Amino acid sequence: MSQSCWQPSALGGRRLPGRSRPMRALTIVGVGLVCAAATLSGQHSDQIEWGAYGTFTRFDKLYGLPDRTGGGIRFGYFISDHIGVEAESNWLGPSTTTGRASYLFHTGSLSLVLNLPLGNRAMFYALGGVARVDYGTTYPYNFAENGLGGGGGLRLMFSDRWGLRLDGRAFFDPKKSLLTGSTSTHLIASAGLSYMGGLPRTGTYVARGGERDYQWYWGAEGGVILVKTNAQTSTVEPIVGGHWLITKHRTSLLVSYEGSFFIDSVRAIIEDPASTASSAGPGFRDVTFSRLRRLSFGLVAHPAQRRIEPFVGGGFAIMQIINPAVDCSSCTTNSEAFAAQGLAQNAASKAFAWVLGGLQINYSRRLNVFGQYIITSSSQGFLLNGNTHTLQGGVRYSLGSAREDVTGPR
């Protein structure tokens, strides 16, 4: 049988000749670190990772912006010991450049991660995916860029849960920038702490065959929705709702209803040939609103039934702006005002397609919590302009079977 790190050697604790006390102390510390490293788990499949970090950003030289420090947060999921997905967001506070207006620098990214373990305590990783940069709302930085993000780094684990991450990545927009007229590349270096949550695969909950078939889950969710109009840039608003989820092994039927109450009223512009004055000139009307509701139907796929499982889905939704108010200060008759309000109502409700993706943590057959991202298609003639983006978290609980089985003759 091999000798344990902590078992006494054949020397029986006798003092080695020529060894000083400091040297013996360093030897003991070194042996302790080696033994501790051997106890750390190199398995991370099905675990989640979240953390916070500080950043150092070097902007594309054509932007003429100084290097700056900031901070951010990240959330990741290990699909296996070597493959994972990760979302992160970092932010720089408002700043002013000489001769120019103030600007922000807020980035968000979604990446596929390739993890390469270097023993039990270290892991090199490479990642790549999509990213978005928002510079704020003040001219000339009142724009955002969608592009690609990629890079790599090193993860050093202090224990099975806590670790240090050193990261370097680049943001690249292949399209011409609205500010410089050419492609742009920004470099971001970061360092911070990460925490490994959940259980490794050996301790995960795995549904037995048929255990979750035809379960009727009732759930609630809350989060934020990103919306914009043809008169305003993107704003982030709260959204809450409830849903039904009826499962059939690896697929499920989803029905949800959600409502959003905007923090501030949002303004949009509609066409009206009868209008003589508006913020956009004659032929248009200003419309304000502060409430939105969404009714969704679709299918969701659960490709892997584990304690922490990914899910994807898609379907159709009806979105409605509630009580849009038309600025009819230039209206001269009641019929003109009624016609203007009718145009606003026609632009307040449309049908959309949607796609979602997320992670679900199964605490038992009946109870689970989840986080998800939803993107909807755009529609012409709607008061909201372009796609909407929703980030939510929630909980659902099964109240029993969604069908009645015949157990015997009547």
Backbone angles phi, psi at 243, to 5 degrees: -155, 160
Give 292's contacts (C-beta < 8 A, 6+ positions apart).
225, 227, 237, 239, 259, 260, 262, 319, 320, 321, 322, 384
Q: Quick one: residue 151, left, alpha or beta (phi over 0 = left, psi -120 to 50 = alpha)? A: left
Contact 53, 72 (CB under 8 A): yes
- Smallest CA-to-CA distance from 90 within 74, 102, 75, 77 is with 74
- Is residue 247 within 8 Å of residue 212, measured between CB atoms? yes
Calpha distance 62→41 (Å, rounded): 46
Query: Which pLDDT score is estimated for 178?
Result: 79
Q: List average pLDDT for each run of 10 residues in the chain, which is 410 residues long.
A: 44 46 50 44 74 92 86 88 88 66 74 88 92 79 86 92 94 86 92 82 48 83 93 90 91 96 93 90 94 97 83 96 92 92 94 94 85 92 93 90 56
Hey, which bits of 97-208 come out as E strands? 102-117, 122-134, 144-157, 162-173, 184-197
Looking at 80-134, which runs of residues are DSSP E strands?
83-96, 102-117, 122-134
Q: What is the pLDDT of residue 114?
A: 93
Q: Greatest CA separation found in the chain?
A: 108
Position 47 scores a pLDDT of 82
Query: CA–CA distance from 289 to each of 68, 242, 293, 316, 383 (Å)?
Result: 38, 23, 12, 23, 9
Give strand pairing partners of 57: 68, 188
pLDDT at 361: 85
SS3 247: strand
Which one-letter amino acid corresponds to residue 367? L
What domains lie within the chain, and their CATH numbers? 48-202 (2.40.160.20), 208-400 (2.40.160.20)
Look up tokens 């929630």; give the residue: 394
Instruction: Give residue 113's identity as a one-letter amino acid code.
Output: V
**What six digits make up the tokens of 190?**
């970061």
Instruction: Burial-class residue 336 by CB neighbours within 10 Å (0-12, 13-18, 19+).
Output: middle
The amino acid at residue 271 is E
Report the alpha-carbon distance of residue 247 to residue 252 in Å, rounded: 4
Return the CA Rg of the chain. Answer: 28
In Å, how far from its chain's centre is CA 231?
26
Three-state DSSP class for 35?
Answer: helix
Q: What's the DSSP call for residue 66?
A: P
How many contiguous H segments (helices) and E segments (strands) does the chain have? 2, 17
Which residue type is seen at 129? G
pTM: 0.61
d(CA 163, CA 195): 7
